[in-house]
Amino acid sequence: MKHRSVLGLVALGLLIALCPQITRTHAAGMAARVVAAPKPGQPIPGNYKAPAPAFNPVYLEPGAQASCQKVAFHKGHRPLIAYMPPATEFNYYIAIQQGVKREAARLGARTFMLAPQSGADIAGQVRMLQDVLTRKVDAIILHAHDEQAVAPLVKQAIARGIAVILVNSDILGFPTPVNGVVGYSEHGGTFQEGRYIVTMFHGHARLGVLQGLPGYDSTQRINGYLDAFKPYPGMKIVAQLPTEWNVETGDKAAMDMLQAHPEINVLVAANDYIADGATQAAQALGRTKVAIFGNDGDPSAFVNIVGKHIVATVNTTPVIMGVVALHVTMDCLNKRYPGGWTQTPVTIVDHANVLQYLCHTENLYPKPSSADLKACRAR
């Protein structure tokens, strides 16, 4: 047995000497097995530079990345790009469209927007996405309130060589692979604002939480607030209610909450439209000392901050986000984008810095009225 083992080792040595390519292949296979997979959120190496003021992309979760190298678009053509937000009822998504159009004009792309009127019309967005797949579009810039509902159609788009870039999100694990994600840290933005609230109230408040529709967006934003409050026992969550992201349901939810729980002195909202509704409810009930906080950076929120109806919002600069999303989409079509999430910045806006943003109307939609800009002229 010992002699056979020695002979076997000699034979293996001769095989390696005579066939070095086998050892190279084997070594390469071993290396492939020991190299750790990139972790979600880690920077993607390379020379790609994200358009200012965005950060360079980071890895998505394993299995969530589709390659821009496989898109069907050929350089030299003028691409057609569909921008598909979840609703037209929110000026926020029209603001993103303004950025998309601005960058499309600069880079020579054709764009159109297609969306249902209501953010609760999930089926309507699905039908519109089905319609877009019958057109000769080269790319889709998409945001959905229900990721699971649109995922099968996103999968079809990718299979047809249509680039799909998600916008206004930080989702690293979409249900089916996508070419890229552009947006702000939804959890990170409200977490910053939550810490702001903790400081403002010295760690003691009675809070009402106004959610959006169930889904990734609402979960991330609300958890950002809750995680900021968690280390402080004096920050008591009294009640939570869902809304449909709009002023009307924000008004109703806040009205119900404040009537049922008069001890509430802080309301946090998943977006600025819900916060707008909360201000209406608080004013109708004479609860002018309730501190209200929003998220988005909608011009209406800036006006409400100037008027001291809400305290602060997370400014996510939607016009600039649209510019970045279109730029990334074009880079993907031209096979320059490495994939991943390109993060756009956020800023907490309150009474101390609101005029810095309200007075720069080139980055706002809709444009504030002349009455709203009175404070800008007085600076």
Give how far Cα 51 sits from Cα of 84, 92, 336, Å. 21, 21, 13
**Span 261-319, pLDDT tens digits:** 999 999 999 999 999 999 999 999 999 999 999 999 999 999 999 999 999 999 999 99
**Span 67-107, pLDDT tens digits:** 999 999 998 899 999 999 999 999 999 999 999 999 999 99
Dist. CA 211–CA 202, nearest whole Å: 24
Q: What is the pLDDT of residue 35?
A: 56
Rounded to the nearest 5 percent, the helix, strand and coil shares of the chain are 45, 15, 40
Q: Is the pLDDT of residue 25 over 70?
A: no
Backbone angles phi, psi at 348, to 5 degrees: -80, 125
Q: Cβ–Cβ contacts within 10 Å for residue 279, how many?
A: 25
Dist. CA 18–CA 46, nearest whole Å: 38
Using alpha carbons only, give the angle 253, 259, 263 rounded to the nearest 5 degrees.
110
Mind listing the domains of the chain with CATH numbers? 68-184+319-345 (3.40.50.2300), 187-315+348-377 (3.40.50.2300)
**Span 354-368, pLDDT tens digits:** 999 999 999 999 999
| Averaged pLDDT for residues 33-53 | 88
Dist. CA 152–CA 176, nearest whole Å: 8
For the chain, how big is the Rg over CA atoms in Å? 25
- Taken in order 285, 290, 296, 298, the sign of the CA dihedral is positive
Three-state SS at 320: helix
Dist. CA 280–CA 267, nearest whole Å: 13
Tokens of 268: 């946090």
In contact, 153 and 175? CB cutoff 8 Å: no
| Averaged pLDDT for residues 106-115 | 98
Q: Is the pLDDT of residue 119 over 70?
A: yes
| Averaged pLDDT for residues 212-221 | 96
Tokens of 62: 């394993």
In contact, 258 and 199? CB cutoff 8 Å: no
Q: What is the pLDDT of residue 295?
A: 98
Three-state SS at 207: strand
In contact, 210 and 244? CB cutoff 8 Å: no
| Averaged pLDDT for residues 250-268 | 98
Q: What is the pLDDT of residue 76?
A: 85
User: Is the peptide bond between 233 and the residue preceding it cis, with omega within 30 degrees of 0?
Assistant: no
Three-state SS at 348: strand
Q: What is the pLDDT of residue 378?
A: 83
Q: What is the pLDDT of residue 34?
A: 52
Closest of 302, 314, 318 to residue 374, by C-alpha? 302
Three-state SS at 237: strand
In contact, 81 and 137? CB cutoff 8 Å: yes
Q: Considering the entire predicted model, what is its pTM? A: 0.88
Crossing angle of helices 2-18 and 20-34, rounded to 10°: 100
Q: Cβ–Cβ contacts within 10 Å for residue 304, how many?
A: 21
Give how far Cα 149 sits from Cα of 84, 88, 214, 298, 313, Å. 14, 19, 13, 27, 30
**Span 188-204, pLDDT tens digits:** 999 999 999 999 999 99
